[in-house]
Amino acid sequence: MVIDREAIGRIFRTESGRSVAALVAMFGDIELAEDAVQDAFAIAVRRWAADGIPPNPGGWITVTARNRAIDKVRRDARGNQLLRATTMEPAAAVPDDRLRLIFTCCHPALAPQSQVELTLRLLCGLSTADVARAFLTTEPTMAKRLVRTKHKIKAANIPYRIPADTELPNRLRAALATVYLTYTTGYSRSPDLSEEAIELGRMLRLLMPDEPEVAGLLALMLLTQARRPTRTDGTGELVLLRDQDRRQWDRDLIREGHNLVRWCLHRNQPGRYQLEAAIAAVHADATTFADTDWNQVLTLYDQLIAIATTPVVALNRAVAVGEVHGPAQGLHEIDQLNLPGYYPFHAARAEFLHRQGHTDDAARAFDTAASLAPEGPERRYLQHRATTT
């Protein structure tokens, strides 16, 4: 039987985080858990080639990884002691396992960049090479950084648990960023991973029901997910927001997202995710792209940039400026920014140049954007625009 390696790759991205979380819960050792899950997937490639992919591949991986981990600790000098402390029930990741792993990865003893790197590797199922590309470094360098971070967790005896209520506020920002990172990673790579992130968002909402930013993040993910069916066409090519068939947007997700946004507004404690969710709600309200209330979008971006002064937020605000005040003003705002390695920056410049009739400059900007974009629909779209503008 020929094994579908692409299918196994999707399973790894979707299930590896669950399996690692389950094994960390059992053994309390991140490196042991990660190594065992890697071994289980290596075994899966061989076994599934002969037997086919099982009905519950995630459960198969977790059980196989658990058995590999047990074999390893039995060979270790302190293995019997560890096994006595280990639950021996059949392995199945419970939802809290992933939350515990998120809070472990996001412990304040770790540097913010280390938190993100480890989360991408453990929870999002990205390879070390993929994480290295995300941070513009080499795979060996990233491998060393990840090893150092895991060793720091062990040396500092960072607990694998959900923080106490008194600790949650100080740990929340990193946890929210981690869940959103999981969502955005899945949005471009794996639909199942995005669903996992939404589930994690719902868990955080249950854990902290009175926290507006938790509700804001969940609303943002739901409103974005509602548009997902129309993001690409039947051939897998990119469809811009202006061209999407809004009749196919998921109205149940939009309704839920709107309710959460309204709940946040009543709390009057605006934060980054709440404002981004409000912007997404404005887009969801418009029956056509032309009906979008760009003045409201720009007002919300003005509030957002006051509390999240980042170049990416500034770029999104500049696009809104261009929609409200015209492409020349939008281009002026964009050209104040310094984002040479960020492909949406060049794509936005190209669009406003094109609207002003500067076709040669627009084509060059589209070409630059295409060269920086990841493989997939975005790159193909930008390459097409570069050759047809």
**Residue 200 is assigned to a structural domain of this protein:** no
Query: Is 303 found in the same domain as 283?
Result: yes
Tokens of 353: 């140049």
pLDDT of res. 84 = 53
- Among candidate residues 274, 308, 342, the one where a domain is terminated: 308
More confident residue, 271 or 117: 271
DSSP state of 107: -
pLDDT digits (tens, 9 = 90+) for 15-37: 888 899 999 988 888 989 999 99
**Residue 54 is assigned to a structural domain of this protein:** yes
- For tokens 């392995």, what's the residue? 91
Three-state secondary-structure class, residue 88: coil
Looking at the chain, the number of H-run helices and the number of E-run strands are 19, 0
Query: Is 53 found in the same domain as 20?
Result: yes
Query: Is 108 found in the same domain as 161?
Result: yes
CATH of the domain at 349: 1.25.40.10
Query: Is 138 found in the same domain as 53?
Result: no
Cα-only R_g, the chain = 23
**Residue 199 is assigned to a structural domain of this protein:** no
Query: Is 145 found in the same domain as 81?
Result: no
The residue type at 192: D
Query: Is 281 found in the same domain as 226?
Result: yes
- Write b or e for each residue in 351-383: b if 16 or more Cβ atoms lie within 10 A of its Cβ, otherwise e: bbbbeeebeeebbbbbbbbbebbeeebbbebbb
CATH of the domain at 144: 1.10.10
Tokens of 71: 């074999």
Number of domains present in the structure of the chain: 4
- Among candidate residues 308, 323, 352, the one where a domain is terminated: 308
What would the mean pLDDT of 51-64 be, rounded to a whole number?
Answer: 92
**Residue 193 is assigned to a structural domain of this protein:** no
Q: What is the span of the domain harbouring residue 71?
A: 1-93
Q: Are 213 and 176 in contact (CB under 8 A)?
A: yes
Query: Is 363 found in the same domain as 302?
Result: no
Tokens of 193: 């991973």
Helix or strand (DSSP H, E) at 345 = helix 343-355
pLDDT digits (tens, 9 = 90+) for 370-385: 999 988 999 999 999 9
**Residue 81 is assigned to a structural domain of this protein:** yes
CA distance 64 to 90: 11
Three-state secondary-structure class, residue 238: strand
What would the mean pLDDT of 270-284 be, rounded to a whole number?
Answer: 97
CATH of the domain at 80: 1.10.1740
Query: Is 110 found in the same domain as 164?
Result: yes
Query: Is 82 found in the same domain as 9?
Result: yes
Name the range with the highest mean pLDDT among 82-96, 125-139, 152-166, 204-218. Answer: 204-218
State the CB neighbour count (10 A cutoff) for residue 256. Answer: 16
**Residue 23 is assigned to a structural domain of this protein:** yes
**Residue 191 is assigned to a structural domain of this protein:** no
pLDDT of res. 1 = 57
Query: DSSP string covering 11-73, please?
Result: HHHHHHHHHHHHHHHHHS-HHHHHHHHHHHHHHHHHHHHHH---SSHHHHHHHHHHHHHHHHH
Q: Are 100 and 160 in contact (CB under 8 A)?
A: yes
User: pTM for the full model?
Assistant: 0.80
State the CB neighbour count (10 A cutoff) for residue 259. Answer: 13
Query: Is 12 found in the same domain as 52?
Result: yes
Give the residue from 294, 268, 264, 272 showing the smallest Cα distance to 282: 294
What would the mean pLDDT of 221-249 be, rounded to a whole number?
Answer: 95
Query: Is 28 found in the same domain as 80?
Result: yes
Query: Is 297 found in the same domain as 219?
Result: yes
What would the mean pLDDT of 217-238 be, rounded to a whole number?
Answer: 95
CA distance 326 to 352: 9
Q: Residue 105: how many CA atoms within 13 Å on its side-chain side?
A: 34
pLDDT digits (tens, 9 = 90+) for 77-136: 555 555 555 544 444 444 578 888 888 888 888 988 898 889 888 887 778 887 887 777
CA distance 14 to 101: 15
- Among candidate residues 159, 176, 193, the one where a domain is terminated: 176
**Residue 75 is assigned to a structural domain of this protein:** yes
CA distance 216 to 241: 22
